[in-house]
A and B are shown apart, each in its own frame.
Chain A
């Protein structure tokens, strides 16, 4: 059994909208082990980033219920000053947009140096500089000595993302949260950055939470996958099982929506509708039901729970047993997808 690094138990993160709290992350239970990449997949607005921000304690005005155990210690709802001892040292975060994730008025070297200084002030200035240059080298930045003195606007997007990564791993954190690390980058840079994160994981033996909506990235990187919809986990499993045998209608719809180069389909599959706004989320029944209206209501559970269909493979709601795409069955064609 792998060593548990992070355990999230019944986490519920709620935001206040017009004096009422609405849960953006609803009853999420997950574990991340050492030296493992857990991918969290879902559409925009599914609560992926809200989950990541909850782990890092970045929500300032949200109500957080449940437990987040980092190496057995509960870090949900602890004071920021206490959390600051962990953040940056034991856990790091990579942000989505490298264009805004760096302070535009601080030299690259100083930004990374700050991360080191905050948790280790025994180093002298020159030692720190040396460490920063090594870090820059590690993330594959050419001429690190020169980049050390540069400002963020002088670097390209890919370079900046490397700097963001270098900052996040400055103190070799055990847990790394990557919130869509490649969304803002073009495809060639994307694979380089992913390779880099993978190498770092092997180097430091750390656990990574990878948040993405790109299933290609998931296939490339992840050991286990959690699919999120409307704040809930709808399916969890290891990456092979999930790719070979996706069960939940949402997971299958996601896979079905991937463009296929030599496919026979003329039209790309589109999941009907959108993720409802936070205050309009259905709080009972299967949350995905409104987007698959051709499935009989009786197929859904009233209060769907996660069922373990195989060891380590969980699916929410029973509707997966009855789910078929409209194209698959003739008699359902008149319900139609446009």
Chain B
């Protein structure tokens, strides 16, 4: 009798966050395929780039300009005689790294900013939101162009930082509105009546309750940031040719000759961008559905 009573609650234990996400992914085959594809691409890119030497790949070789795909160069070479396949791998790695770093950094800044503004409200909120508005009206593209012109040599890290400085506002807004909603609930007041300090309430009570929103937003942001980096590089305001990225490969297609006759330079990169963004968005929308019981399929 005692035993039976003890076992029963385990059987009706409500599903944890991960099992809900997993059920949603299993039900949504497209999202599952996207996730597997994403993991494979990321593993492949980061794995292979360990073996590849960036210096070697970006070295100009005048004897093998614009070679079509062959056994020596799987995806041919570009106008500098550089291996396109190698550039694709290094480029994807760079693009992904930037997107991940930017997403994480904007996430951290935006979350802290939004939580503080939303939780304290009043004057604190007013001042912080005016600062946010100021950043919002700055012309992002113009400043990046100026940055490229002023800073002679920039790396993945500096480029990520400059992007972060202008991209944290969206998530900050979102988190603020969620925090404004959430702080009105009694459990926040109850925590106050226990003598919990504000910092503790923000990070122990408010943050976990905003987590579903944060995860979903950051996933979707990741896709957007890949696109943004590629776009900037395509316009020539991203990385120089010595640091390949998906965008620099695309930008070679600005040459009509390349666009028409040398597909191997730009088609793989475009396809990869398409696949990455679609896959991340699919996973993101499955995550979004998982956080809302009414939309779940699983």
Interface residues of A, Cβ cutoff 8 Å to B: 53, 56, 58, 60-61, 80-81, 83-89, 91-93, 95-97, 100-106, 114-115, 118-119, 146, 151, 153-154, 164, 167-168, 170
Interface mask (B191-207 → A, CB under 8 Å = 1, otherwise 0): 11111111000001100
Docked-complex contact A114 and B194, CB < 8 angstroms: yes
Bound form: Cα–Cα A272–B205 in Å: 43
Docked-complex contact B208 and A105, CB < 8 angstroms: yes
Docked-complex contact B122 and A84, CB < 8 angstroms: no
The majority secondary structure among interface residues of chain B is helix
Docked-complex contact B193 and A87, CB < 8 angstroms: yes
Please pick, from B14, B121, B193, the residue contacting A93 in the complex, using a CB distance under 8 A. Answer: B193
Docked-complex contact B190 and A87, CB < 8 angstroms: no
Q: Confirm or deny: B146 has a beta carbon within 8 angstroms of a beta carbon on chain A.
A: no
Docked-complex contact A101 and B187, CB < 8 angstroms: yes
Residue of A nearest to B184 (CB): A100
- Extra contacts, 10 of them, besides A60-B121, A80-B192 (Cβ < 8 A), are A56-B193, A80-B198, A83-B195, A89-B195, A95-B189, A102-B187, A103-B191, A104-B187, A105-B211, A167-B190
Docked-complex contact B14 and A153, CB < 8 angstroms: yes
Q: For the complex of A and B, list the 6 residue pairs with the smallest distance between their C-beta atoms, beginning with the closest.
A: A88-B195, A88-B194, A84-B195, A87-B195, A101-B186, A93-B193
Shortest distance from the beta carbon of A139 to any chain B beta carbon, whole Å: 15
Q: Confirm or deny: B136 has a beta carbon within 8 angstroms of a beta carbon on chain A.
A: no
Docked-complex contact B185 and A85, CB < 8 angstroms: no
Docked-complex contact A118 and B186, CB < 8 angstroms: no
Bound form: Cα–Cα A22–B208 in Å: 36
Q: Which of B143-193 contact A (CB under 8 A)?
A: 185-187, 189-193
Docked-complex contact B192 and A58, CB < 8 angstroms: yes
Please pick, from A56, A100, A118, the residue contacting B196 in the complex, using a CB distance under 8 A. Answer: A118
Docked-complex contact B197 and A146, CB < 8 angstroms: no
Docked-complex contact B198 and A102, CB < 8 angstroms: no
Q: Confirm or deny: B256 has a beta carbon within 8 angstroms of a beta carbon on chain A.
A: no
Shortest distance from the beta carbon of A288 to any chain B beta carbon, whole Å: 30
Bound form: Cα–Cα A100–B184 in Å: 10
Please pick, from B14, B186, B204, B208, the residue contacting A97 in the complex, using a CB distance under 8 A. Answer: B186
Docked-complex contact A118 and B195, CB < 8 angstroms: yes
Docked-complex contact A88 and B193, CB < 8 angstroms: yes
Known: A153-B14, A164-B190. A61 touches B195 (CB 8 A): no
Shortest distance from the beta carbon of A98 to any chain B beta carbon, whole Å: 9
Please pick, from B192, B198, B205, the residue contacting A103 in the complex, using a CB distance under 8 A. Answer: B205
| Chain B interface bracket (under 10, 10 to 19, 20 to 34, 35 or more) | 20 to 34
Q: Confirm or deny: B139 has a beta carbon within 8 angstroms of a beta carbon on chain A.
A: no
Q: Confirm or deny: B209 has a beta carbon within 8 angstroms of a beta carbon on chain A.
A: yes
Known: A60-B121, A104-B209, A154-B14. A167 touches B189 (CB 8 A): no
Docked-complex contact B193 and A168, CB < 8 angstroms: yes
Residue of B nearest to A154 (CB): B14
Residue of A nearest to B191 (CB): A103
Residue of B nearest to A146 (CB): B9
Docked-complex contact B187 and A84, CB < 8 angstroms: no
Question: A114 contacts which chain B residues (CB < 8 A)?
Answer: 191, 194, 196, 204
Please pick, from A60, A86, A95, A146, the residue contacting B122 in the complex, using a CB distance under 8 A. Answer: A60
Bound form: Cα–Cα A56–B196 in Å: 13
Please pick, from B120, B189, B204, the residue contacting A58 in the complex, using a CB distance under 8 A. Answer: B189
Bound form: Cα–Cα A118–B200 in Å: 11
Question: A170 contacts which chain B residues (CB < 8 A)?
Answer: 194
Bound form: Cα–Cα A80–B196 in Å: 10
11 contacts between A and B (CB under 8 A): A58-B189, A58-B192, A80-B197, A81-B197, A85-B195, A89-B195, A100-B185, A114-B191, A153-B14, A168-B193, A170-B194
Bound form: Cα–Cα A32–B194 in Å: 21
Bound form: Cα–Cα A92–B193 in Å: 6
Docked-complex contact B196 and A105, CB < 8 angstroms: no
Bound form: Cα–Cα A253–B283 in Å: 61
Q: Which of B201-257 contact A (CB under 8 A)?
A: 204-205, 208-209, 211
Interface mask (B117-132 → A, CB under 8 Å = 1, otherwise 0): 0001110000000000
Bound form: Cα–Cα A44–B211 in Å: 35
Question: B195 contacts which chain A residues (CB < 8 A)?
Answer: 83-89, 118-119
- Residue of B14, B121, B191 with most chain A CB atoms under a 10 A cut-off: B191
